[in-house]
Chain A
Amino acid sequence: MRDGDLHAYVDGQLDPARRIEVEAWLTEDVEAARRVQAYRDQAEALHALFDSVLIEQAPAEINALQSKLAARLPTNDNHIPWFQAHWLRAAAMVALVTAAGVGGWYGRDGMGGRSVATGSGSHLPVLVAFAEEAANAHNFYANSRFEVEMGADDQDALNGWLSERLGRPVFGPELTSAGFRLIGGRSLPTDTGVGVLYMYESDRGERLTLFVGAPQTGESAAVSYVQRNDIGLLYWAEGSLSYALAGRFKREQLTRFAQAVYQSLKDEPAKRRKSNDPASGGKAQPPAMPPSGTGVPRPSAPSEQIQPSSGDNKPKPS
Chain B
Amino acid sequence: MDGVVSSLRADLENHIASLRRYARALLRNSSDADDLVQETLSRALSRADKFAAGTNLRAWLFAIMHNIYVNQVRRLAGRPGESSIDEEGMENRLSEAARQESRIELRDLSRALDAIPEEQRQVLLLVALEGLKYDEVAQVLGVPIGTVMSRLSRAREAVRQKLSGNGAGSVLRRVK
Closest beta carbon of chain B to A311's beta carbon, Å:
24
Residues of A contacting B13 in the complex (Cβ-Cβ under 8 angstroms): 66
B97 at the binding interface (Cβ < 8 Å): yes
In the complex the two chains form, what is the Cα distance from A112 to B13 in whole Å? Answer: 36
Which of B51, B99, B170 sits near A34, CB closer than 8 Å?
A: B170
Contact B170 A38 (CB under 8 A): yes
A109 within 8 A of B: yes
Q: Is A21 at the interface (CB under 8 A from chain B)? A: no
The residues of B that contact A49 with a CB separation of less than 8 Å are 25, 90, 106, 109-110
Interface-located stretch among A72-80, A167-175, A200-208, A239-247: A72-80
- Chain B residue numbers with a CB within 8 Å of A121 are 89
Report B49-93 residues with CB < 8 Å from chain A CB: 49, 51-57, 85-86, 89-90, 92-93
B143 at the binding interface (Cβ < 8 Å): no
Are the CB atoms of A88 and B14 closer together than 8 Å?
A: yes
CB distance from B74 to the nearest CB of A (A): 19
How many A-B pairs with Cβ below 8 Å? 217
List of B residues within 8 angstroms of A45 by Cβ? 103-104, 106, 109
Size category of the binding interface on chain B: 35 or more
Q: Which residue of A lies closest to B24 (CB)?
A: A53
B115 within 8 A of A: no
Bound-state CA distance A62–B127 (Å) is 24
- Do residues B156 and A73 form an inter-chain contact, with CB atoms below 8 A? no
User: Which residue, of B5, B48, B96, has the highest number of chain A Cβ atoms within 10 A?
Assistant: B96
Q: Which residues of A contact B156 (CB under 8 A)?
A: 7, 35, 38-39, 42
A49–B13 CA distance with the chains assembled, in angstroms: 21
A69→B44 CA distance, assembly (Å): 7
- Residue on A with the closest CB to B20? A53
Say whether B48 contacts A107, CB under 8 Å. Answer: no
Chain A residues closer than 8 Å to B170, beta-carbon distance: 34, 37-38, 41
Q: Is B4 an interface residue (CB 8 A)?
A: yes
User: Number of A residues whose C-beta is below 8 Å from B?
Assistant: 68
State whether the Cβ of A46 lies closer than 8 Å to any Cβ in chain B.
yes
Kindly specify which of A96-104, A128-136, A143-151 makes contact with the partner chain. Answer: A96-104
What's the nearest-Cβ distance from chain A to residue B128, in Å? 4
With an 8 A cutoff between CB atoms, is A50 at the interface? yes
Interface digits, A28-52 against B, CB 8 Å rule (1 contact, 0 not)?
0000001101110111111111110
Complex alpha-carbon distance, A134 and B171, angstroms: 36
Using a CB–CB cutoff of 8 Å, the interface residues on chain A facing chain B are: 3-4, 7-8, 11, 13, 34-35, 37-39, 41-51, 53-54, 56, 58-59, 61-62, 65-66, 68-70, 72-82, 85-89, 92, 101-109, 114-121
Between A and B, 27 residue pairs with Cβ closer than 8 Å are A11-B128, A42-B124, A42-B128, A42-B156, A46-B125, A49-B25, A49-B109, A49-B110, A53-B21, A53-B30, A62-B20, A68-B45, A69-B45, A73-B12, A75-B5, A75-B8, A75-B53, A76-B4, A76-B53, A80-B14, A85-B10, A88-B14, A103-B104, A104-B98, A118-B92, A118-B93, A120-B93
Q: Please give me the 6 A-B residue pairs with the lowest Cβ-Cβ distance, nearest first.
A: A120-B89, A104-B99, A74-B53, A76-B53, A65-B41, A72-B48
B contacts, CB < 8 Å to A: 1, 3-14, 16-18, 20-21, 24-25, 30, 33-34, 37-38, 41-42, 44-45, 48-49, 51-57, 85-86, 89-90, 92-94, 96-104, 106, 109-110, 124-125, 127-129, 131, 133-134, 149, 152-153, 156, 159-160, 163-164, 169-170
